[in-house]
Amino acid sequence: PREATELLLSSSSGFVQELAEIISSSAAPEPAKGARAGPKKSVTVGGHFSKQLAELRAKIDLTSPHYVRCLKPNGALIPDHFDPLMIVDQLRCAGVVEAVRVSRVGYPQRYNHAQFVTRYKNLALKELAKAAKGSRKMKPVDTLVDAIAKKMVEIDPTLAAPIDPKSRSDSKVDLMEVGIQVGKTKVFLRRRAFDILENMRKAYIATATVKIQALARGFIQQRTFTEHCESSLQLQCWVRVIIAERKVQTVRELVNARKIQNAYRRCAGRRYYLCV
């Protein structure tokens, strides 16, 4: 990349500076097709090397490289055996532990403005909505950082000086003490600030999850209760229909029995009358 070329040019070694000039000249844009071409020059070994190096740099610039460090798991050269002391010694000798420690002392967590707003906007939805409706135009990331910094101080007062409750809405928190810095394109977080932010985010997600589960379970229980009520009503209707049918059948049988009894008694009375 360009920073590497500038670093090589600033070297005190003449050979390194000459190598940097070759790399920078090979990376320069080619002349237009319409331009008058000069006499052809023979390609030297150095020119061929610089051309290949420029092509390699162009490919690297198009990718997102990740550096992988290989570690020896054990000294016995046997599989499925992990020696923690040996691994830690290799990491310490290679400078990885020191690099991680230095990174954690500084600002190890870095987010673009869009990524930071997308990840932590749920922690200050009211403030973002209020800022969007206000007459004073502010960047969403600035509004979000100010609101989050105040909440972080409330959670952990040791981060910064306490906020006066009377001027709480207008007061500003020292972002340097909190451990947050806003740049032109990125937001930088110290380790402690990042841990507090992640805990706040996890707590918000857990609360929202519980609310969603409560609403879902309430909806399921309400639907089940409605289905049970409808089923009970339908069952009651069927039972009442069966009872009514049996009652009507009983009444019909009684009426027909009375008719038969009346006819039989009339016939028996007539016979007795005629015999007398």
For residue 208, the model assigns a pLDDT of 93
Residue range 204-239, pLDDT digits in tens: 999 999 999 999 999 999 999 999 999 999 999 999
CA–CA gap between residue 156 and residue 153 (Å, rounded): 5
The model's pTM is 0.54
Residue range 128-142, pLDDT digits in tens: 888 888 777 788 888
Residue range 89-111, pLDDT digits in tens: 999 898 888 888 887 778 888 88
Largest CA distance in the chain: 160
For residue 36, the model assigns a pLDDT of 55
Predicted confidence band at 242 (pLDDT cuts at 50, 70, 90)?
Answer: very high
CA 239-244-249 angle, to 5 degrees, is 130
Helices (H), the chain: 2-9, 14-26, 45-61, 84-94, 96-105, 113-120, 125-133, 140-155, 175-178, 191-275
| Residue owning tokens 């089923």 | 231
Phi, psi of 13 (to 5 degrees): -85, 130
The CB density around residue 68, as the number of other CB atoms within 10 Å, is 5
CA–CA gap between residue 7 and residue 116 (Å, rounded): 32
CA 257-258-263 angle, to 5 degrees, is 100
Residue range 45-76, pLDDT digits in tens: 778 888 888 888 888 878 877 778 888 999 88
